[in-house]
Amino acid sequence: MRRREKLITDVLIFVISILAGMQMTTSICYTFFPENFQCSNNIAKVPIEPFIEELGDFQFNPGPKKKLVLVGVMTSSQYFDTRDWAIRMTWLKSIPGDVVFFIGNSTDPAPPGMPLIRLNRVPDNVYPPQGKVFEMLRYLHENHADKYEYFIRADDDVFIKGQELGSLLKSLNSEEKIYMGHYGQGVPEEIGKLGIGKDYLYCIGGPGVIFSHVALKILAPNLDNCKGDTATTHEDTELGRCVENYLKTECKSNKKVRALFYQNYREVKGTFNHELGKKESHAFTLHPVKNSSFVIRLALHFKDDEIKWLKRKADTLRNELEMVKRGMTSKQLKRLSMPMMKYLHNIEYFKRKHEPKKASVKFWYDTGDDTAQWEHIEMESIIPWQIFIRHQTGSECEKT
Ligand SMILES: *[C@@H]1O[C@H](CO)[C@@H](O)[C@H](O)[C@H]1NC(C)=O
Ligand SMILES: *[C@@H]1O[C@H](CO)[C@@H](O)[C@H](O)[C@H]1NC(C)=O
């Protein structure tokens, strides 16, 4: 009985000593480092917020239906007013989806209106942005995996043609595990030392890498493993390594895709300041463009391309229309689609509106129903946008 009591007393004394010791350590710390009260581990144990969203007016896709694409631009606070500004002025607006910027743990204030995610678990000014890429993908998966069909990992010195990229994405199936871009194997002296299979093709980072939402979902649970187990300090080969191990696929690419994701190997620190030609017009993304003035130059150049293309298209349409009008007989008319008929009709109508003396035009339209009769409407009975069709029988119905 006594032994038991002694044991209890000993234990009590032991516990009290520990508590007293802790209290003393705390007091000593507080006495000597009052403003920096970090001797106790308590503060370090408060988990840091892994991400801070600074979105302003920007909203990630709020709808239930997936948007086509979310582009994550990896940047750092030192480029807020140069590269990131240039992106916001130019190609950001052409993306058929959303664009968000990602930096590391910097606390520098961002320009107003810039949709920004601060990734607090990684440093901001470290290149290559190896930690950033894994944290960014983790963030995208945790928060937005079901809101977009595709996710793009982009650099802040890339130029992206949004429309072209959109048409490429629409031709793919986001239900497949897709990892796509400009394939590479590493520079010759590094092949075999990258921790990836000798013949493995990864997507190089610069010109952008596409992930389908399915690919992101398979990769996501392994991102922390990949981040903690790297073979090099590279960013894109490590992401490739992660994809090889867990997604078990290569960079979906070939010579043609490589040309679409244009990497300027001749000027790896360059900015496309040479004369722009077919290759640049053909590409969907261009990398690197280090100087923001040249981002604007590219944007203007491609707008010019677009204007030329639209002019050619307008000419073709005008020719087609002329041909149709010349060859118009009621028999041929029957083969035209309703939108085409409406289009022809509007042109005729507005042309003749200014010539009221001319006799009314007889106009035919197809009801889209095989059994329906062709009907005869008179110009006077047609008001733009709210067309009343006078049936041959005399009854009236409304058509918009
Ligand atoms: C960011 O992280 C780095 C390295 O992890 C660290 O040295 C630095 O103090 C951190 N900066 C801020 C502002 O938290
Ligand atoms: C970018 O290019 C412009 C025009 O050539 C030049 O004036 C400017 O100094 C360049 N900026 C940098 C940071 O190199």
Residue 391 pLDDT exceeds 80: no
Atom of ligand 1 nearest to the CA of 104: 1
297-333: per-residue pLDDT in tens? 999 999 999 999 899 888 888 887 777 766 665 555 5
In the beta sheet, which residues pair with residue 52? 118
Ligand 1, atom 11, lies closest to the CA of 105
CA angle 292, 296, 299 (to 5 degrees): 135
Atom of ligand 2 nearest to the CA of 292: 1
Ligand 1, atom 4, lies closest to the CA of 123
Question: Which range among 123-127, 354-358, 394-398 shows the weakest confidence by mean pLDDT?
Answer: 394-398
Residue 107 alpha carbon to ligand 1 centre in Å: 10
On whether residue 385 sits in a domain, the answer given is no
Q: In the prediction, which pLDDT does 353 show?
A: 61
* DSSP helix/strand/coil, 285: strand
Residue 270 alpha carbon to ligand 2 centre in Å: 11
Half-sphere exposure of 249 (CA within 13 A, CB side): 18
Residue 86 pLDDT exceeds 70: yes
* CA dihedral over 378, 384, 389, 390, signed as positive or negative: negative
The conformation of residue 252, written as its DSSP 8-state character, comes to: B
Over range 102-121, report the average pLDDT: 97
Determine the length of the chain. 400
Question: Residue 319: which residues within 8 A CB-CB, separation 6 or more?
Answer: none
* DSSP helix/strand/coil, 13: helix
On whether residue 89 sits in a domain, the answer given is yes
Give the long-range contacts of residues 254-260, CB within 8 A, separation 24 or more: 254/183, 257/180, 257/181, 257/182, 257/183, 258/182, 258/183, 259/283, 260/164, 260/168, 260/284, 260/285
Structure tokens that stand for 127 in this block: 């290149």
Q: In the prediction, which pLDDT does 360 show?
A: 42
Ligand 2, atom 1, lies closest to the CA of 291
Ligand 2, atom 4, lies closest to the CA of 293
On whether residue 247 sits in a domain, the answer given is yes
Over range 275-298, report the average pLDDT: 95
Residue 376 pLDDT exceeds 80: no
Please report which ligand is nearest the Cα atom of 269.
2
Q: In the prediction, which pLDDT does 160 show?
A: 98
Residue 137 burial (C-beta neighbours within 10 Å; 0-12, 13-18, 19+): buried
pTM: 0.73
Q: Is the CB of 316 under 6 A from ligand 2?
A: no
Please report which ligand is nearest the Cα atom of 77.
1
For the chain, the domain total comes to 1
Over range 49-61, report the average pLDDT: 95
Q: In the prediction, which pLDDT does 3 show?
A: 66
Half-sphere exposure of 57 (CA within 13 A, CB side): 3
Residue 337 pLDDT exceeds 70: no
Q: Is the CB of 105 under 6 A from ligand 1?
A: yes
Ligand 2, atom 9, lies closest to the CA of 291
On whether residue 238 sits in a domain, the answer given is yes
Quick check: 178 and 115 in contact, CB under 8 A? no
Ligand 1, atom 12, lies closest to the CA of 105
Q: Is the CB of 293 under 6 A from ligand 2?
A: yes
On whether residue 30 sits in a domain, the answer given is no
Please report which ligand is nearest the Cα atom of 131.
1
Q: Is the CB of 316 under 6 A from ligand 1?
A: no
159-208: per-residue pLDDT in tens? 999 999 999 999 999 999 999 999 998 888 888 889 998 889 999 999 99
Atom of ligand 2 nearest to the CA of 291: 1
Q: Is the CB of 291 under 6 A from ligand 2?
A: yes
Residue 377 pLDDT exceeds 80: no
Q: Is the CB of 61 under 6 A from ligand 1?
A: no
Residue 397 pLDDT exceeds 80: no
Q: In the prediction, which pLDDT does 347 show?
A: 64
Residue 95 alpha carbon to ligand 1 centre in Å: 33
On whether residue 256 sits in a domain, the answer given is yes
Q: In the prediction, which pLDDT does 44 show?
A: 56
For the chain, what is the largest distance between any 2 Cα atoms, rounded to a whole number of angstroms?
Answer: 125
Q: In the prediction, which pLDDT does 11 show?
A: 67
More confident position, 77 or 38: 77
5-41: per-residue pLDDT in tens? 777 778 666 666 665 656 655 555 455 554 554 444 5
On whether residue 41 sits in a domain, the answer given is no
Residue 385 pLDDT exceeds 50: no
Using a pLDDT cut of 90, give the percent of the chain over it. Answer: 58
Q: Which domain holds residue 264?
A: 67-304
CATH number for position 286: 3.90.550.50
Atom of ligand 2 nearest to the CA of 82: 13
Residue 297 alpha carbon to ligand 2 centre in Å: 12
* DSSP helix/strand/coil, 293: helix
Q: In the prediction, which pLDDT does 345 show?
A: 65
Q: In the prediction, which pLDDT does 373 show?
A: 35
240-270: per-residue pLDDT in tens? 999 999 999 999 999 999 999 999 999 999 9
Q: Phi/psi of residue 225, each to 5°?
A: -60, -50
On whether residue 268 sits in a domain, the answer given is yes
CA distances to 77, 98, 151, 169 from 69, rounded to whole Å, are 24, 6, 6, 8
Q: Phi/psi of residue 151, each to 5°?
A: -125, 135
Using a pLDDT cut of 70, give the percent of the chain over it. Answer: 71
Q: Is the CB of 107 under 6 A from ligand 1?
A: yes
Average model confidence (pLDDT) for the chain?
81
Q: In the prediction, which pLDDT does 187 show?
A: 86
